[in-house]
Structure 1
Amino acid sequence: MRMTIARTGNAALALCLGLGIVMADVAPATAQARPDSFAELAERLSPSVVNITTSQTITEQGPGGMSPMIPEGSPFEDFFREFMQPEGQVPRSRQASALGSGFVISADGFIVTNNHVIEEADEILIEFLDGNELPAELIGTDPRTDVALLKVEPEEPLPFVEFGDSDTARVGEWVLAIGNPLGQGFSVSAGIVSARNRELSGSYDDFIQTDAAINRGNSGGPLFNMNGEVIGVNTAILSPNGGSIGIGFSMSSAVVSGVVDQLREFGETRRGWLGVRIQPVDEGVAEAIGLEDARGALVADVPSGPAAEAGIEAGDVILTFDGTEIEEMRELPRVVAATEVGKAVRVVVFRDGRTRTLSVTLGRLEEADSAEVATVEDEKGETPRTAEVAGLTLQNMTADLREAFDIPDNVRGVVISDVDAESNAYERGLRSGQVIVEVGQRSVADPDDVVEAVEAAREAGRKSVLMLVRDQGEPRFIALELAD
């Protein structure tokens, strides 16, 4: 049976035809007994939830909206253009509509929904519980978290809801979802927080998993705790058939509230930017570098940016950022993004067996330029040199190897030309064509450099040695086990 993850916008024709994956943080810290009824809570909250209808103009080419696939410049191009669309005939247009959900967060008409609900819409119409309808203006969007902020102009103050603290939610607590599933507006469903801190595909993902029924059209709707606070925005579901099977995801209010504040103030997001590429710290990596516990975020690459200017290096493990302990790698991007652009923060890193504290002035992620590509020195005259260690056959970088393995010009190091399929190196993912850049957090440029670093780690009693490897330019640290 094939399972799919889909967004929850209910598109009648074109936009946002998806199911809701809603990851959100769990309910409040205090245990809650099963309520006798959700009626009072649903009655109080429903007026703040809205149905969202969007429309988009789509231009159709030729009869029936079909246009032939004719290569540009083909001798038949003019013929088919005249045949499919006679001279003087104007291309036909039609309106495509989509449905979704949202919720009011202020009496003056600010409304939160998913970005995919309103993406590419020409018009956005908001329907309230009392039947009143108002056109909405798009204030700003954030595709990274799938959040959008809208604004209507009501004649009277609107009922609204507030964000709660999703970080205090607990697995097993009751939650309530209200939305517009399958066009059935203002529907209420109840369930529990099934899991917290789920990650789907984005760097800033922090989803609450819930078994409250979520279907097409629920996208952008609120997930409430029993205090009537929004702790998540329903976004998608996991489903084999497009319908709810009790695995839904809601983006946590811990993420959404910060995004909404920025969209409301600036009309765009302004995330802090550290300027590092990171990977998890596992037990092998921790042992290889002498870190007591497997925690933090391992810096795999430091392009030009704030981190490089502050002295952060590849191989550092970031343990603390601006006073926040980093237990897992995935925590760092969210903490950095939530920090004010231009703020000078203290970053504690582990390097060479001890901690160091560095001061970093954050840039802005949205304005970050890609790192400059370094030019390579002339390698045509390089004499091939070979060495073998730990199941690896190594060669120095040459122009022929760079061309044979399609190694980017800015990558320098020692090329892996062969890997023993029965070695630990093979099990750890090392393959021909990859480039070893560092061993034991020291740069290597010759096969003998790698051999010496591996032997030094073995003589020092290490069970593994840390290698920085680039595969098609992408950096990754690997803790290579050392045989006795």
Structure 2
Amino acid sequence: MPTTRSTPLRILAALALAAAFGGFTATALHHVLQQPAQATPPSPAIAPTLAQLPAAVAGQPLPSLAPMLERVTPAVVSVHTRQRVRINNPFANDPIFRRMFPNVPQERIEQSLGSGVIVDAQRGLVLTNHHVIEGADEVSVTLADGRTMSAEFVGSDPDTDVAVMKIPADGLSEIPLADSGALRVGDFVVAVGNPFGIGQTVTSGIVSAVGRSGLRGLGYQNFIQTDASINPGNSGGALVNLDGQLVGINTASFNPRGSMAGNIGLGFAIPANLARNVMSQLVATGEVRRGTLGLDTQAVTPRIADGLALGVERGALVTRVLAGSAAAAAGLRPGDVIIAADGERIDSPADLHNFEGLQPVGSRVTLDIRRDGDALQVATEVREQPRSHAGAQLDERLTGATFAELPERLRQSGARGVLVESVARGSRAARNGLREGDVVVATSAGAFDDLAGFRAGFTQAPAQLILNVVRGNRQGVLPMQ
């Protein structure tokens, strides 16, 4: 944001003064409430000093966020979802039980609340979080002016937690998207949403960090961290700068006692640049294409760091380069250690996987690697990775099964392998004991990281095919006949 504009400067000054006043008042009240009542000796009379906000700053009337918010708040909506959930009653199929208790409900209605942001008034496009509308049978949107209307589902991407809806384009307001890449730590931001379903609420704070990742169970991560209050119900709402431009979509807050305990100044938002990219793909095709370099990696241990003379115990050690991949075309080899990608620090295989998944397909990236003690830079391309594979295309013994990438939230929790997306009833895979929802973590050809690595294990058909499978909390082997 240009520093020459007078309005943001006045707003920043006001926010700083307001923060100082609020902190002083809170500290004083805390001191009074925590001190026991006791007699104190009289002290010399001192004229009381009262903290007051000045009527003007640098000769200008005290500025306000209100004019900016008058433009922003009409484009922030409340999202209401309804989902029919079947009640698992063990007697529901008993005809005698149904005759005796004909009015026992067979399903219940679950409702939830969230927020959304209108980003295209002409087309009625609304951005929100995937987890806000996930599994919903009905979704409705309430505008700031009180109008409520049904929303049409356009598409969603669970791995980035971005979803797009469409509402009738009649008298709507929109929030323009900013370049979130220009955000800096310390920039003032404002969050708008519907926390706890109490109605539209505005909170303010600063950008605490950018490019935040490593949060367990949250999919691909490149979050804006802010201390603006983000509570349950704020999910999908707007994070805007002082010009009223959308810099992020509020998505999560952190509290060791659970999300319903409220905000403690650790909120996270999806950057506008990422949301824009996902939205454009969902609107165009209904799905998101994800990229890959085509290699398997492992963590750098102290022993590996010493053996390779890295000097640092971090990075992603290349263990396999898949034939025909972008990494192979770029000349990467097993034994290379990737320590940065496009200037972004890579500390672990999870960091590299997160970086790959957030790059647009076809984009060129530069990797900083260590090879035989030398520092090198390698340019490569991010190529599209397949979303799923039919088992019959890999090996006849897997006929009837479909394999897909693991949900990214599981990967961020440390899981590896591929998901058995479906198994056709009576198929060869089903007869071999494979079930929908199984996670395959290794085959006769060895362990692998993802779908590309799983597929590479079938370049030459193994004489004996054994799958190492995780099912629920148990792990075992399945011979494929």
TM over 0.5: yes
**Where does residue 410 of structure 1 map in the other structure?**
445
Which residue number corresponds to residue 259 of structure 1? 278
SS in 1 for 2:94: helix
Q: CA deviation at 1:128?
A: 0.7
Instruction: Please state if 1:86 is matched with 2:99.
Output: yes
Amino acid at match of 2:284: E
Aligned match of 1:179? 193
Q: Is the 8 A contact 2:188 2:205 kept in 1?
A: yes
Alignment correspondent of 2:238: 222
Does the C-alpha gap of structure 1 residues 194 and 305 become closer, same or farther in structure 2, counting only changes over 3 Å?
A: same
Residue 125 of structure 1: CA displacement?
0.7
- 2:77 alignment partner in structure 1: 50
Which stretch of the first structure deviates more once superposed, 356-365 or 176-185? 356-365
Structure 1 residues 168-317: aligned runs within 5 Å: 168-199=182-213, 200-201=215-216, 202=218, 204-239=220-255, 240=257, 242=260, 243-279=262-298, 285-291=304-310, 297-303=316-322, 306-307=325-326, 309-310=328-329, 311-317=331-337
Please tell me whether the aligned partners of residues 340 and 346 of structure 2 are also in contact (alpha carbons under 8 angstroms): no
User: Is 1:117 matched with 2:132?
Assistant: yes
Provide, for residues 238-276 of structure 1, a one-character-per-residue CA deviation record: whole Å limited to 9, x for no partner: 221522222222222243222122212221111212122
Equivalent residue for 1:465?
A: none
Contact 1:295 1:326 in 2 (8 A): no
Structure 1 residues 150-180: Cα deviation after superposition (integer angstroms, max 9, x where no partner):
1112234x21112223333232332111111
Q: Classify the secondary structure of the residue corresponding to 1:257.
A: helix
The aligned amino acid for 2:138 is E
The equivalent position to 2:370 in structure 1, one of 350, 373, 377, is: 350
Distance in 1, matches of 2:327 and 2:181, equals: 32
Aligned positions of 1:146-185 closer than 5 A: 146-156=161-171, 158-185=172-199
Tell me by how many angstroms 1:340 deviates: 4.4
Deviation digits for residues 35-91 of structure 1 (CA, Å, limit 9, x no counterpart): 343222222210110011111223336xxxxx13xxxxxxxx89x723433399596
C-alpha RMSD of the superposition: 3.8
Deviation at 1:147, TM superposition (A): 0.8
Kindly indicate whether the alpha-carbon contact (under 8 Å) linking 1:258 and 1:338 is maintained by their aligned counterparts in 2.
Answer: no
Provide the rounded CA distance (Å) in 1 between the counterparts of 2:109 and 2:138.
11
User: Partner of 1:45: helix, strand, or coil?
Assistant: helix
- Calculate the TM-score normalised by the size of structure 2: 0.61
Letter in 1 for 2:159: R
1:134 equivalent in structure 2: 149
Hey, what does 2:67 align to over in structure 1? 40
Tell me the SS of whatever aligns to 2:225.
strand
In 2, the alpha carbon distance for the partners of 1:205 and 1:34 equals: 33
Q: What are the ranges of 5 or more consecutive residues in structure 2 without an aligned counterpart?
A: 16-62, 396-440, 448-467, 471-481
C-alpha distance in 2 between matches for 1:205 and 1:280:
19
**Secondary structure of the structure 2 residue equivalent to 1:182:** helix
Residues in 2 aligned to 1:92 and 1:368: alpha-carbon distance in whole angstroms: 35
Percent identity between matched residues is: 37
Structure 1: runs of 5 or more not aligned = 1-26, 62-66, 69-76, 374-405, 413-471, 475-484
Q: TM-score, normalised by structure 1?
A: 0.60
Distance 2:201 2:109 in 1: 26
Secondary structure of the 2:192 match is: strand
53 and 208 in structure 1: CA distance in 2 versus 1, 3 angstrom threshold? same
User: How far off its partner does 1:282 sit?
Assistant: 7.6
Q: Take 1:210 and 1:340, find their aligned partners in 2: how far apart are those partners?
A: 26
**Aligned-partner residue type, residue 76 of structure 2:** V
Aligned length in residues: 341
Task: Report the Cα distance in structure 1 between the residues aligned to 2:226 and 2:363, rounded to whole angstroms.
Answer: 36
1:336 to 343, 350, 356: 356
1:186 and 1:411 mapped to 2: Cα distance?
53
* Distance change in 2, residues 1:368/1:116 (3 Å): same
TM superposition shift of 1:280 = 5.6
Per-residue deviation, 1:303: 4.7
The secondary structure found in structure 2 opposite 1:86 is helix
Aligned equivalents of 1:316, 1:255: Cα separation in 2: 29
Secondary structure of the corresponding residue to residue 111 of structure 2: strand
Distance 1:317 1:473, change over 3 A: farther
Distance 1:305 1:348, change over 3 A: farther
Q: Tell which has more relative contact order, 1 or 2 (C-alpha 8 A, sep 6+).
A: 1
Q: Distance in 2 between matches of 1:407 and 1:368?
A: 17
Q: Which amino acid aligns with 2:356?
A: V
The one-letter amino acid of 1:60's match is I
Summarize the Cα distance change of 1:124–1:353 in structure 2 as closer, same or farther, 3 Å threshold.
Answer: same
